[in-house]
Amino acid sequence: MADQEEQVKLYGTWASPFSQRIEIALKLKGVPFEYIEEDLTNKSPSLLKYNPVHKKIPVLVHNDKPVAESLFILEYIDETWKNNPILPLDPHERAMARFWASFIDNKILATALKIGLCKGEEKEVVILEVCEQLKMLEQQLNGKDFFGGDKIGFVDIVGNIVAFWFQITHEVLGGDFFTPEKFPSLFEWIGKLQEIDLVNECRPPREKHLAYVRGKYESLINAPK
């Protein structure tokens, strides 16, 4: 566990599923931390100093040493505070957890982000693609409550983006494909996540989140081409 002397700071923004991942992990480990809300329209000198490459949140700063990129931060947290492991201990299971976490960000998220930007037939193709990817992810649950087994782990924490951000975005876009009928196991999993207090503590209030995502989407489609 962390020494009394240790200083842990998280630079994040309230609506970001990426900074929520880090909040969930720190709470799971019981690591006290200072949360610093960033204004991404006016990034702080500290954020630019700590993440000069991507200039993005989240950034974890542990005793003045920064770590950027949510997947790497999760690994850092798991290696630094050993209680309540996030990654499986078995090397093959660890590799698989990393594989599916990367699949969520590099495939599902990357495809989902295209949905709001295209129309007609092109949009249908993208929706089919994301549904296939979500099915592949769903199959990984394979009768388990969580991707991590009987408790949340790496893929569950990374998957918060599917569970919460994706659901809200789907609603804003007026989608009809991300439903419990089409993805029963994923929705059961979302239900299980919602039973976990510390996960709920890290989620933004639904109405506020909906309004934020709606605003983002409108400014995206109204942006000069």
Our CB check for ligand GSH shows the closer of 161 and 192 to be 161
Our CB check for ligand GSH shows the closer of 116 and 183 to be 116
Our CB check for ligand GSH shows the closer of 65 and 135 to be 65
How many other CB atoms are there within 10 angstroms of residue 108's CB atom?
A: 21
The residue sitting closest to ligand GSH, measured at its beta carbon, is 56
Strands 59-62 and 8-12: antiparallel
| Binding footprint of ligand GSH on the chain (CB under 6 A) | 13, 16, 18, 40, 55-58, 69-71
| DSSP codes joined into one string, 167-223 | HHHHHHTT-SSS-TTT-HHHHHHHHHHTT-HHHHHTSPPHHHHHHHHHHHHHHHHHS
Cβ contact 213:205 at 8 Å? no
Our CB check for ligand GSH shows the closer of 158 and 186 to be 158
Shortest Å distance, C-beta 87 to ligand GSH: 16
Shortest Å distance, C-beta 75 to ligand GSH: 12
Which of 66, 64, 94, 73 has its CA nearest to residue 29? 73
Shortest Å distance, C-beta 142 to ligand GSH: 26
From first CA to last CA, the distance across the chain in angstroms is 51
Shortest Å distance, C-beta 110 to ligand GSH: 11
Our CB check for ligand GSH shows the closer of 192 and 199 to be 199
Shortest Å distance, C-beta 184 to ligand GSH: 28
